[in-house]
Amino acid sequence: MNLKLLSRPDRTLTAEKLLILSAVFCFAILHYQGDKRTGLLTPATLYTYDLSMAFKSVAQGVKVSTYLPQTSPRQQIVSETADAPHMELSRSYSVAGQLGVWQGEGQADSIHYRAKIKTTPVKYQLLADSEVEANRDENYSDYLQETEAIAVNHPEIDALWQEIKPKNANNLQQSLQAIYDYTAGLETLPFKGTTSSLTALRLGAASCNGKSRLFVSLVRGLGLPARLVGGVVLNEGKKRTSHQWVEVFIQGYWIPFDPTNGYFAELPGHYLELYRGDQSLFKHTANIQFDYQFSSAENRVAPGLYFNSYQQADDTINLAKLFKPFHLSEQTIAIFLLFPLCALITTFFRNLVGLQTFGVFVPMLVAITCTYSGLFSGLLGVLLVVLVAYLSLVLLEKVRLLVIPRLAATMTIITIFVLLVFYFLPGRHAMNTGIFALFPVVIISFIAEKLTQLSSERDWQGLLSRSAGTLVVIAVCYGFLQSIYLQSIFTLYPEALLIVLALQIGIGRWNGIRLSELIRFNGLLKKQEAVIGINERNREIVYRLNNAKDLLLAADKLKTKQVLAGFDIAVPDTLFSCHSHSQVQQLEAILARHKAFVIKPNCGSQGNGIVVITGRSGETFTSAGGKCWTVQMLKDHVSDIISGSFSQHGEQDIAYIEPLIRQDSRLQSLAPGGLADIRVIVANKVVIAAMLRLPTAKSQGKANLHQGAIGASVCLESGKLTHASLQGKSLNRHPDTGAELAGFTLPYWPEILHMSRECARAMPLGYLGVDICIDQQQGPLVLEVNGRPGLEIQNVQQKSLTREHFYPQVEPV
C-alpha cells in the first residue's frame, strides 16, 4: 500500500453552480418573453429643490405665501416636505399654480420647504410653412390683453415690430424667430424689481422678467396668446434669484421660449415651473424682515427605486414595491438590497485578498452610514468619533473600570459628544459627525476598544494593517453602494441575488492561498513549495479533522489541563481559579502565600491578558516587564478577565493562577528575557513539525512571533535547531544575548515528542498545536493545546507542511 494525496477535478453539481444556472435560466426566460426592465437600468435624474424662508416673529402673527411646484406633463413631484414650526400650511390651486400659505403666531420665524422633482426636457419643431393666425378663442382672451406691465396696442411696440419683422411677416416661425432674436439680443441685467415691456424696450436692456414681458407684448400684438412663466433654474448651489420665461399657445400647445438663456421652442430639464402668468412669487406680512434662499442639487438615481415616478407596467418585477407599505426612503431600500453584495465584497477582501479589518462586517456598516453624508466627510466624522471613544477608553482604563462598564461609559461619552456637536455646529456638519454615533455607536466602541488593545501591546504594524484594510473595504463598499447601475440591477433583477449567493459559497469553498499570503510566503513560493494557506487550513484541515465540540474544549485551558492530567501528561499546577466577581476578594489571601506566579485568562489567545509576576517587595509585586502591581491592581485585572476583556469569544471568562515556571537553565542561557516555548504540530497523531519560540527584548519577553519573538526550526529526529528567523529575516545568534542558535539541541526531546503524541491521544483533535515549556525541576510541561495552530511555522522551517499527513488517501500500489 502507498499513501498518496488525491487531487481530482470537481465535476459534481455544486451549490454555487446550481445557483448560477438558476439565475441564468431566469434571465433567459424573461429575455425570451420580452423583458421590460432593461429600459430602467439607465440612471435617471432627480432634482432636489430647497426653499428656506426666514423672518422676524411678531406677536400679532405672520402670513407668508409663495407658489409651490406641482405635477404637470413636464414635471412630477416625487416627494415633498414642509417644516414650519408654529405655523399652519394651507394650499389653493388655480390656473396660476399651487399657492402655499403659511400662517402662525408668536414664535414662528422660519419655513423650510423641500421637494424631489422629476423633470423632462421638451423641444418643439415649428413647421416652416405655418402662418400667423390670430386666436379668437375666448378661453385664451386673458393671454391677449394688455396689462400695466405688458403693453400691446402701443405705438412704441408697434414701431418695434415694424423694425424687426421678417420679410414674410405672416410666417409663424420667422415671426417668432425675429421676436426671439431681438429680445435675446438685449443686454441682460441682474434682477432689481419688476421691469415693464416698455422699460425694457426703452433701455435696450433688462433682466429675465423685462425680456419676457417684451416678448409677450410683441407676440400678443400678432394675436397669439402668450404668458409669463415663473420658476427656478435648478443649478447646483444656493441663490436668491428666481427666473421667468415665456409660453406661446400654438396649435393647441403651450410652447416655451426663454430669450434670456437662449432656448427657442424648448426648455431643458433643469427648469422648475412654479407659476403661470404675471405673478409675484412671494407675499408676506409687512415689516417682518423677510428673507429667502433657493438651493438645488442634481441627483442621479436608479429609476426602479422610484417606481411611482417612472412608467412601469404593473407586472414588472421590482423589489422596491415590496417596501412601499413601510414608507422607507429610496436610499434605505437601495442599501438593504445591496447588503448581500457588500457582504460579498467583505468576504472577497477577507478570504481572497487577506486584508485584516476592525471586525468582519464593521467596514461595511461604516460604509453604509457614509452614504448619508458622503465618503470624505463621513470618514472624517467617524475618525473624529473613534478618536473621542479611544481617548475615553484610555482615560477610563486609568481608573481601572471593568470592561463592560468601561464600554458603557464610552457609549455615554460619545452620546454627550454628539449632543455638543449638534448644539455648537451648523446642522449639516452636525449630521456628518453625529450620524456615526447615532447609528453605529456600539461598532465605534468596538473599534476604539481594539485600538486600545493594539496600542497597549505596541502592535503598531497590526494597527496600521487593520486601519488600512478597514479603509479599503469601506471605500469599495461605499463605491458599490453608490452605483446607480447596481441599485437598478438588484432592484429589478432578484435573480442577481442568486449569483451573489453562489459567489459567496464559491469563496467559502475555495482553498487557494490569499493574495496577502503571496507576500507572507514569498520565499517558500520562490522555492516552488506547495504552501498551505489559511483557507486550506480552515476548510480542509480544521473543519475535516477537528469538530466544534473538541475545538471548544481546546479553547478552555482549565478543562484541557484536567483532560491532559487524566492521561498522565505533565501540566503546570493551578493555584487558584476565579469563576465570578464574588471570588475576587479571596485573591488577597491566595497571593499572600506566593511571591512569583502567573495570572491567565482561561479562554485567552496570543498571550493577551497574561500577567507574569516575578517578585515581591512587601505589598508590591513586580512583573516580568518591570511594572509594579498592587494587590488592588491585580484584583482589577482578574475582574477584567472575568468580564471577558481577553476572551476569544468576548464572553465571561475564568481567571486562574499558576506558579511561575523557572525555565531550564539551558534555554535560559539562550533567552533569559522570558519563557521560551516549543510549538509542536501534530496531525492524525503524527508529529509533523516543531519550532522553538524565543522571547526577545523587542517582543517584551513574550514568545509571540508577530510581536518580535524568534522562531527556530527543530529537526524532528534529533531535536536540534536548524534555522532561525526574526520577522522574516534569518539569523544565527540571539540579538539580545549573542547566543548561537543553529545546532542547539533541545533537552528532553524524546519526552517532548512522546508528550505531543499523547496530547493528540487525550484530545480528540486530528490537527493540533501543542505548546510546551521546560521547567528547571519538572521538565517538559504542556502550557496549552491549540485547535487552530497558525501557519508561520512554514516560514520558520523554510518548507511547507506536508499535506499527506492531514488527509491521506490510500491507493493500491
pLDDT at 451: 64
Between CA 580 and CA 586, with CA 584 as vertex, the angle to 5 degrees is 120
Q: Give the whole-angstrom CA distance, residue 433 versus residue 420.
A: 11
pLDDT of residue 741 exceeding 50: yes
- Confidence label for 11 from pLDDT (cuts 50, 70 and 90): very low
**Model confidence pLDDT, tens digit, residues 307-344:** 665 555 555 678 888 888 888 888 888 999 999 999 99
pLDDT of residue 36: 61
Span 546-573, average pLDDT: 92
**Gap between the Cα atoms of 766 and 543, Å rounded:** 10
Residue type for 155, please? P
Residue 771 reports pLDDT greater than 70: yes
Cell of 72: 404637470
Cα–Cα distance list, 239 to 292, 617, 688 (Å): 9, 75, 75
**Across the chain, which distance is largest between two alpha carbons, in Å?**
123
> Any idea of the CA torsion for 260, 263, 266, 267, to the nearest 10 degrees?
-50
pLDDT at 576 over 70: yes
Residue 6: predicted pLDDT: 34
Going by C-alpha positions, the residue among 308, 316, 313, 328 that lies closest to residue 493 is: 316
- Per-residue model confidence (pLDDT) at position 459: 60
Mean pLDDT over each residue of the chain, to the nearest integer: 85
CB 260 within 8 A of CB 31: no
What's residue 444's pLDDT?
A: 63
Residue 432: is its pLDDT beyond 70?
no
Q: Are 181 and 244 in contact (CB under 8 A)?
A: no
Identify the residue with better confidence: 624 or 794: 794
Rounded Cα distance, 392 and 282, in Å:
51
Percentage of the residues of the chain whose pLDDT score is greater than 90: 47
Instruction: Collapse the DSSP code of 753 into the 3-class scheme (helix H, G, I; strand E, B; otherwise coil) and give the result.
Output: helix
Q: Please write the tens of the pLDDT for every residue from 467-483.
A: 888 899 999 999 999 99
Which residue is associated with the grid cell 378663442?
137
Residue ranges of alpha helices (H) inside 567-709 are 587-591, 631-643, 665-670
Sheet of 110-119, strand order: 75-83, 110-119, 44-54, 291-301, 237-239
Tens digits of residue pLDDT in 652-687: 889 999 999 999 999 999 888 888 999 999 999 999
Hey, where are the domains in the chain? 44-121+294-301, 125-256, 330-509, 534-552+664-809, 573-659
Instruction: Return the C-alpha cell found at 502.
Output: 453562489
Distance CA 807, CA 6 (A): 9
- Give the H/E segment covering residue 471: helix 460-482
Torsion angle (degrees, nearest 10) of CA 397, 403, 408, 409:
-20
The gap from C-alpha 795 to its chain's centroid, in whole angstroms, comes to: 35
Query: Would you place residue 447 in the very low, low, confident or very high pLDDT band (cuts 50, 70, 90)?
Result: low
Report the pLDDT value the prediction gives residue 400, as an integer from 0 to 100: 64
Query: What does the alpha-carbon distance between residue 583 and residue 638 come to, in Å, rounded to a whole number?
Result: 10
pLDDT given for residue 813 in this prediction? 31
Higher pLDDT, 727 or 2: 727
Q: What are phi and psi of 570, to 5 degrees?
A: -70, 130
CA dihedral over 426, 428, 433, 434, signed as positive or negative: positive
Beta strands in 262-386 (DSSP E): 263-264, 266-267, 271-276, 282-284, 291-301
The three grid cell numbers given for residue 360, joined into one nine-digit string: 468582519
786-791 contacts: CB < 8 A, separation 24 or more? 786/554, 787/542, 787/546, 787/550, 787/551, 787/554, 787/555, 788/537, 788/538, 788/542, 788/546, 788/551, 789/679, 789/681, 791/532, 791/533, 791/534, 791/537
CA distance 204 to 183: 9
The CATH number of the domain covering residues in 125-256: 3.10.620.30
Domain spanning 534-552+664-809, CATH architecture: 2-Layer Sandwich (3.30)
Residues 231-255 have a mean pLDDT of: 93
CB 450 within 8 A of CB 650: no
DSSP state of 541: I
User: Which element (helix H / strand E) includes 15?
Assistant: helix 15-32
- Please compute the mean of the pLDDT values over residues 427-450 and round it to a whole number: 53
Among 434-443, 449-458, 466-475, top mean pLDDT goes to 466-475
C-alpha cell at 29: 426566460
Alpha-carbon distance values, 46 to 306, 309, 809 (Å): 10, 10, 63
Identify the pLDDT of residue 9. Answer: 42
Identical fold for domains 44-121+294-301 and 534-552+664-809, yes or no, is no
pTM, rounded to two decimals = 0.76
* pLDDT greater at residue 410 or residue 294: 294
Binned at pLDDT 50, 70 and 90, residue 510 comes out as: confident
Model pLDDT, residue 713:
95
User: Is CATH 2.60.40.2250 correct for 44-121+294-301?
Assistant: yes
Classify 743 in phi/psi space as left (phi over 0), alpha (psi -120 to 50) or beta. Answer: left
What tens digit of pLDDT does each residue of 13-29 get?
Answer: 566 667 667 666 666 65
Q: pLDDT grade, residue 527 (50/70/90)? A: confident
| Look-up of cell digits 452636525 | 430
Beta carbons within 8 Å of 110's beta carbon, 6+ residues apart: 52, 53, 54, 55, 84, 85
What is the per-residue pLDDT across 607-660, written as a single tens digit (0 to 9) for each?
A: 778 888 888 888 888 887 778 898 888 888 888 888 877 777 667 889 999 999
pLDDT on residue 7: 38
- Distances in whole angstroms, Cα of residue 546 to Cα of each of 543, 651, 783, 788: 6, 22, 20, 9
Most confident of 83-97, 346-360, 585-599: 83-97
Q: Which helix (H) or strand (E) holds 450?
A: helix 441-456
Give pLDDT, residue 434. 42
Alpha helices in 148-192 (DSSP H): 155-164, 172-185
d(C-alpha 520, C-alpha 639), whole Å: 38
Does residue 196 surpass a pLDDT of 50?
yes
Question: Long-range contacts made by residues 98-104, C-beta under 8 angstroms, separation at least 24?
Answer: 98/67, 98/68, 98/69, 98/70, 99/65, 99/66, 99/67, 99/68, 100/65, 100/66, 100/67, 100/68, 101/63, 101/64, 101/65, 102/62, 102/63, 102/64, 102/65, 103/61, 103/62, 103/63, 104/61, 104/62
User: What is the spatial distance between Cα 304 and Cα 313, in angstroms, rounded to a whole number?
Assistant: 12
Are 63 and 290 in contact by the 8 Å Cβ rule? The answer is no
Inter-residue contact 204 to 184 (CB < 8 Å): no
CA distance 69 to 52: 14
Does position 442 have pLDDT exceeding 60, yes or no? Answer: no
Residues 6 or more apart whose Cβ sits within 8 Å of residue 71:
77
